[in-house]
Structure 1
Amino acid sequence: MRATLQLLVAATHLLVATRAHYLNAWAVRIRGGRQVADQLAYELGYANVGPVVWAEQQMVRPREKRGLAQDWETLRFNDPLWSHQWYIHDTRSSPELPELDHRVTKVWDMGFTGRGIVVTVMDDGLEWNHTDLTQNYAPEASYDFNDDDRDPFPRYDPQDLNNHGTRCAGEIAMTANNRNCGVGVAYEARIGGAHIGITRVTSYVASSLANVTGIRMLDGDVVDAVESTSLAFNVEAIDVFSASWGPSDDGRTVDGPKRLASEALERGVTRGRGGRGSVYVWASGNGGAKGDNCNCDGYAGSPYTLSVSGASQRGRFPYYGEKCASTMAAAYSSGAYTDQKVSTSDLHDSCTTQHTGTSASAPLAAGIVALVLQANPDLGWRDVQHLVAWTSDFAPLSSNRGWKRNAAGLLYNSRFGFGLMDAHAMVQAALNWTNVGRREQCRLEPSALLPRRLASHQQLQLAFDASLCPLAALEHVQVHLDLQYSQRGALDAYLRSPAGTESVLLYRRAKDTTGQGFRNWTFLTVHLWGEDPRGLWVLVIRDKPAYQVMNDGRRRYDDEQLAHDVIDTVPEYEEEEEAHRAAVIQRSRLQQVLLGENLIAPN
Structure 2
Amino acid sequence: MRQIFKKRTALSLATLAVLASATAQAQQGDPLYRYQWHLMNYGQQVLGDTRPVSGIDLGIDDLHDYNIRGKGVIVGVLDEGTEIRHPDLAANVVPNGSWNFNDGSHDPTPTNPDAAHGTSVSGIIAAVGWNGIGVRGVAPSARLKSFNFLDSDANNEQIQYAWWDGPESKDVAVSNNSWGSTIPLFLTVVSENELAAWENPMSATRGGLGTVYVKAAGNSFASVPHPLFGELCPASAAQVGCSQSINDTEANYFNVITVAAANAAGKRSSYSTPGASVWVSGLGGEYGWERASVSVNAPAGFADRQPAVRFDPAIVTTDLSGCVNGYNANAVVPPEFVSDLNLNRLESDQSAIDGTCNYGGTMNGTSAAAPTVSGVVALMLQANPKLSFRDVKYILATTSRRIDPNQAAVTNADGTVLSAGWTVNAAGRAFSNWYGYGLVDATMAVTRATGFKSLGRLVDSGWQPAQVAAAQPIGNVAAPARATVRIAGGAGRVEAVQIGMASDYPLDFLESTTLRVSLISPSGTRAIVVPAGAAFAVDTMTFDLAAVNAFIDETGNGDWTLEVVDTALAAGAETKGNLTSFKIRVLGH
* Aligned residue in 1 for 2:108: 152
1:38-77 counterparts in 2 under 5 A?
A: 65=14, 69=18, 70-77=20-27
| Off by >6 Å, runs of 4+ in structure 1 | 256-261, 455-458
**Alpha-carbon distance, 1:76 to partner:** 1.6
Structure 1's unaligned 5+ residue stretches are: 1-63, 190-210, 549-557, 559-603
Sort the Cα spacing of 1:186 and 1:498 in 2 relative to 1 into closer, same or farther, 3 A: same
* Aligned residue in 2 for 1:439: 458
SS in structure 2 at match of 1:482: strand
* Aligned residue in 1 for 2:501: 481
Letter of the 2:520 counterpart: R
Sort the Cα spacing of 1:118 and 1:510 in 2 relative to 1 into closer, same or farther, 3 A: closer
**Alpha-carbon distance, 1:274 to partner:** 1.1
- Quick check: 1:304 aligned with 2:255? yes
Letter of the 1:101 counterpart: D
Tell me, in whole angstroms, the C-alpha distance in 2 between the residues paired with 1:256 and 1:132: 41
* Aligned residue in 2 for 1:470: 490
- Cα deviation digits, residues 278-330 of structure 1 (max 9, x gap): 00000011110131111111111221100110001001112212221111110
* Aligned residue in 1 for 2:417: none
* Aligned residue in 1 for 2:172: 238
**Alpha-carbon distance, 1:451 to partner:** 4.8
- Cα deviation digits, residues 491-523 of structure 1 (max 9, x gap): 33011112111111112455425315425x111
User: Which of 423, 431, 437 is the matching residue for 1:404?
Assistant: 423
Contact 1:225 1:260 in 2 (8 A): no
Sort the Cα spacing of 1:104 and 1:134 in 2 relative to 1 into closer, same or farther, 3 A: same
SS in structure 2 at match of 1:539: strand
**Alpha-carbon distance, 1:124 to partner:** 1.1
Letter of the 1:363 counterpart: P
1:395-544 counterparts in 2 under 5 A?
A: 396-401=403-408, 402-442=421-461, 443-449=463-469, 451-454=471-474, 459-466=480-487, 468-487=488-507, 489-490=512-513, 491-509=515-533, 511-512=535-536, 514-519=538-543, 521-544=544-567
* Aligned residue in 1 for 2:313: 340
* Aligned residue in 1 for 2:96: 140
- Cα deviation digits, residues 246-286 of structure 1 (max 9, x gap): 11255x22357789985664244322111111000000111
Tell me, in whole angstroms, the C-alpha distance in 2 between the residues paired with 1:328 and 1:124: 24
- Cα deviation digits, residues 532-584 of structure 1 (max 9, x gap): 12222221123333999xxxxxxxxx9xxxxxxxxxxxxxxxxxxxxxxxxxx
Contact 2:53 2:266 in 1 (8 A): no
**Alpha-carbon distance, 1:415 to partner:** 0.5
SS in structure 1 at match of 2:257: strand
Contact 2:41 2:54 in 1 (8 A): no
Sort the Cα spacing of 1:217 and 1:546 in 2 relative to 1 into closer, same or farther, 3 A: farther
**Alpha-carbon distance, 1:75 to partner:** 2.2
SS in structure 2 at match of 1:493: strand
Structure 2's unaligned 5+ residue stretches are: 1-12, 46-51, 224-241, 287-308, 323-357, 409-420, 574-589
SS in structure 2 at match of 1:83: helix
Letter of the 1:149 counterpart: S
Contact 2:244 2:534 in 1 (8 A): no
Letter of the 1:153 counterpart: T
* Aligned residue in 2 for 1:179: 132
Contact 2:188 2:546 in 1 (8 A): no
Letter of the 2:550 counterpart: H
SS in structure 1 at match of 2:250: coil
1:568-579 counterparts in 2 under 5 A?
A: none
Contact 2:96 2:107 in 1 (8 A): no
- How many residues of Structure 1 are paired with residues of Structure 2 in the alignment? 458
* Aligned residue in 1 for 2:160: 228
1:161-172 counterparts in 2 under 5 A?
A: 162-172=115-125
**Alpha-carbon distance, 1:149 to partner:** 2.4
**Alpha-carbon distance, 1:178 to partner:** 2.6
SS in structure 1 at match of 2:495: coil
Tell me, in whole angstroms, the C-alpha distance in 1 between the residues paired with 2:152 and 2:191: 18
SS in structure 2 at match of 1:65: helix
Tell me, in whole angstroms, the C-alpha distance in 2 between the residues paired with 1:256 and 1:278: 25
* Aligned residue in 2 for 1:113: 69
- Cα deviation digits, residues 168-210 of structure 1 (max 9, x gap): 0011111122333210111112xxxxxxxxxxxxxxxxxxxxx
Letter of the 1:533 counterpart: G
**Deviates most, 125-134 or 488-497:** 488-497
* Aligned residue in 2 for 1:316: 267
Contact 1:173 1:185 in 2 (8 A): yes
Highest relative contact order (Cα 8 Å, sep 6+), 1 or 2?
Answer: 2
* Aligned residue in 2 for 1:384: 392
Tell me, in whole angstroms, the C-alpha distance in 1 between the residues paired with 2:144 and 2:538: 41
**Deviates most, 477-486 or 272-281:** 477-486
**Alpha-carbon distance, 1:231 to partner:** 2.0
SS in structure 2 at match of 1:139: coil
* Aligned residue in 2 for 1:575: none
Letter of the 1:370 counterpart: A
Sort the Cα spacing of 1:267 and 1:140 in 2 relative to 1 into closer, same or farther, 3 A: farther
- Cα deviation digits, residues 6-51 of structure 1 (max 9, x gap): xxxxxxxxxxxxxxxxxxxxxxxxxxxxxxxxxxxxxxxxxxxxxx
- Quick one: percent identity of the two aligned structures? 27
Letter of the 1:238 counterpart: V
Tell me, in whole angstroms, the C-alpha distance in 1 between the residues paired with 2:26 and 2:54: 22
**Deviates most, 176-185 or 272-281:** 176-185
Contact 1:224 1:261 in 2 (8 A): no
Tell me, in whole angstroms, the C-alpha distance in 1 between the residues paired with 2:248 and 2:570: 27
TM-score by structure 1 length?
0.71
Tell me, in whole angstroms, the C-alpha distance in 2 between the residues paired with 1:99 and 1:386: 24
SS in structure 1 at match of 2:37: coil
Tell me, in whole angstroms, the C-alpha distance in 2 between the residues paired with 1:546 and 1:285: 31
Letter of the 1:65 counterpart: A
- Quick check: 1:354 aligned with 2:362? yes
**Deviates most, 257-266 or 119-128:** 257-266
User: Larger C-alpha radius of gyration, 1 or 2?
Assistant: 1
- Quick check: 1:214 aligned with 2:214? no
- Cα deviation digits, residues 136-158 of structure 1 (max 9, x gap): 1223210012333222111224x
Contact 2:88 2:128 in 1 (8 A): yes
Contact 1:224 1:258 in 2 (8 A): no
* Aligned residue in 1 for 2:243: 292
Contact 2:519 2:563 in 1 (8 A): yes
SS in structure 2 at match of 1:331: strand
Contact 1:447 1:465 in 2 (8 A): no
**Deviates most, 421-430 or 336-345:** 336-345
User: Which of 175, 197, 207 is the matching residue for 1:274?
Assistant: 207
Contact 1:344 1:351 in 2 (8 A): yes
Contact 1:133 1:175 in 2 (8 A): yes
**Deviates most, 145-154 or 422-431:** 145-154
* Aligned residue in 2 for 1:198: none
